[in-house]
């Protein structure tokens, strides 16, 4: 993992001993094994395809979101962008436009939404949290103006089949394939290219990264645009998966995405984390939700469980870091061993 935080070798070794994202991965595997063995109706292909299908929108947006958070920024307008994309899709379809034209237009819309966020953050130097809270409202508002409270459902069958179908009787939804492709691209970009290393550098210390020659603004703008595009595509997928274009589609999804990304060990302060961890976090939350529903846990208790898990996930790595830091301090502060105490 290209962890660019400047730490002493001792510290990084301690931090590496129990990595949070690895623990989340292990936790996911344990949860899956337990669910397969003990939860009735969990292991069949149909249920697994439901699980994956319902988690995919979160997983899709989590990819650019993880990278954005690594670079020290955040985008809260992703769900509204998806909703706007869905509303535009419905309105254009109603107007008689071809679906093959609508989808690229939605992607273009994602570019515009991302550019607005990115330019406001990089050109005007505004904090991304504030900017994207604003556009969260604005994009959702435009979506409502575009489509009103209509819902458009009569999309072409072959596209709906792609959105909600699966390969034969297997657990794999069709839509998982583009996700896996995007995941592979994202992993390579974040963990094996100069671009990815620069994101970590910017997230750990923007000033230092700039002096080291990283074009910080350009990098961030590119990430905002990517996030916008993936969000818009998720809006298209959402519309086809649930066979319904509505302005309020994906409401609140940004919180699930951020929760999953944080759970997966991406540090909210930037500069730390892996995509593997983020994806494990996404599917850990998704699996928990599925299992809790199968076990008849009420919606309220599910929300509480998710919330508690999130707080723990933010706290645990920090506490771990504090402990290792304290230990390291204790070690350096300890007097050098006296070799020959002569009486």
**Residue number with CB closer to another protein (161 or 269):** 161
**Residue number with CB closer to another protein (102 or 266):** 102
* Contact residues for another protein, defined by CB under 8 A: 40-41, 44, 46-47, 50, 54, 57, 93-94, 96-101, 104-105, 108, 111, 148-160, 164, 215, 217-219, 221-222, 238, 242-244, 246, 248-252, 289-290, 293-294, 296, 298-300, 303
Q: Is 290 exposed, middle or buried (0-12, 13-18, 19+ CB in 10 A)?
A: buried
Strand partners, 328: none
* Least distance in angstroms from the C-beta of 140 to another protein: 12
* Least distance in angstroms from the C-beta of 157 to another protein: 7
Helix axes 45-70, 176-192, angle to 10 degrees: 30
* Least distance in angstroms from the C-beta of 207 to another protein: 19
**Residue number with CB closer to another protein (14 or 109):** 109
* Least distance in angstroms from the C-beta of 99 to another protein: 5
Please name which of 302, 273, 272 lies closest in space to residue 285, comparing C-alpha atoms.
302
Whether residue 186 contacts residue 63, with contact meaning beta carbons closer than 8 Å, is answered with yes
* Least distance in angstroms from the C-beta of 275 to another protein: 22
Strand partners, 248: none
**Residue number with CB closer to another protein (76 or 103):** 103
**Residue number with CB closer to another protein (131 or 266):** 131
Number of neighbours of residue 276 by Cβ within 10 angstroms = 19
Question: Cα separation of 43 and 37, whole Å?
Answer: 8
Question: b/e for 108-125, b at 16 or more Cβ within 10 A?
Answer: ebbeebbebbbbbbbeee
**Residue number with CB closer to another protein (77 or 290):** 290
Question: Cα separation of 27 and 33, whole Å?
Answer: 10
DSSP string, 277-309: HHHHHHHHHHHHHHHHHHTT--HHHHHHHHHHH
* Least distance in angstroms from the C-beta of 145 to another protein: 11
* Least distance in angstroms from the C-beta of 279 to another protein: 19
Question: Cα separation of 197 and 202, whole Å?
Answer: 9
**Residue number with CB closer to another protein (1 or 105):** 105
**Residue number with CB closer to another protein (8 or 101):** 101
DSSP state of 337: P
Interacting residues of 138 by C-beta distance below 8 A, sequence separation 6+ = 77, 80
Per DSSP, the three-state class of 173 is strand
* Least distance in angstroms from the C-beta of 123 to another protein: 9
């Amino acid at each position: 993992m290209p962890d660019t935080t400047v730490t002493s070798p001792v510290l990084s070794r301690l931090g590496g001993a129990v990595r949070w994202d690895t623990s989340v991965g292990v936790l996911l595997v344990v949860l899956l094994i337990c669910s397969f063995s003990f939860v009735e109706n969990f292991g069949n292909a149909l249920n697994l395809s439901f699980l994956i299908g319902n988690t995919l929108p979160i997983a899709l947006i989590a990819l650019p979101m993880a990278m954005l958070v690594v670079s020290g920024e955040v985008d809260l307008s992703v769900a509204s962008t998806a909703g706007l994309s869905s509303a535009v899709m419905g309105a254009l379809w109603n107007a008689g436009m071809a679906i093959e034209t609508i989808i690229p237009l939605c992607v273009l819309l994602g570019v515009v939404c991302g550019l607005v966020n990115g330019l406001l953050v990089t050109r005007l130097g505004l904090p991304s949290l504030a900017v994207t809270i604003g556009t969260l409202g604005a994009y959702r508002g435009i979506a409502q103006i575009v489509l009103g409270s209509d819902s458009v459902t009569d999309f072409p069958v072959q596209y709906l089949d792609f959105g909600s179908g699966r390969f034969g009787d297997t657990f794999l939804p069709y839509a998982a394939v583009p996700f896996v492709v995007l995941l592979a691209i994202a992993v390579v970009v974040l963990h094996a290219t100069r671009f990815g290393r620069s994101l970590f550098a910017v997230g750990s210390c923007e000033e230092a990264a700039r002096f080291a020659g990283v074009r910080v603004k350009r990098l961030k703008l590119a990430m905002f645009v990517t996030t916008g595009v993936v969000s818009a595509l998720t809006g298209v997928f959402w519309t086809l998966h649930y066979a319904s274009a509505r302005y309020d589609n994906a409401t609140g999804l940004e919180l699930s995405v951020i929760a999953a990304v944080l759970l997966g060990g991406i540090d909210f302060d930037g500069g730390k984390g892996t995509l593997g961890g983020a994806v494990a976090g996404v599917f850990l939350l998704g699996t928990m939700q599925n299992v809790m529903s199968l076990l008849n846990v009420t919606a309220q208790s599910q929300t509480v469980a998710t919330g508690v898990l999130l707080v723990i996930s933010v706290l645990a790595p920090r506490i771990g870091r504090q402990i290792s830091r304290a230990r390291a301090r204790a070690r350096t502060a300890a007097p050098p061993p006296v070799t020959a105490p002569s009486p």
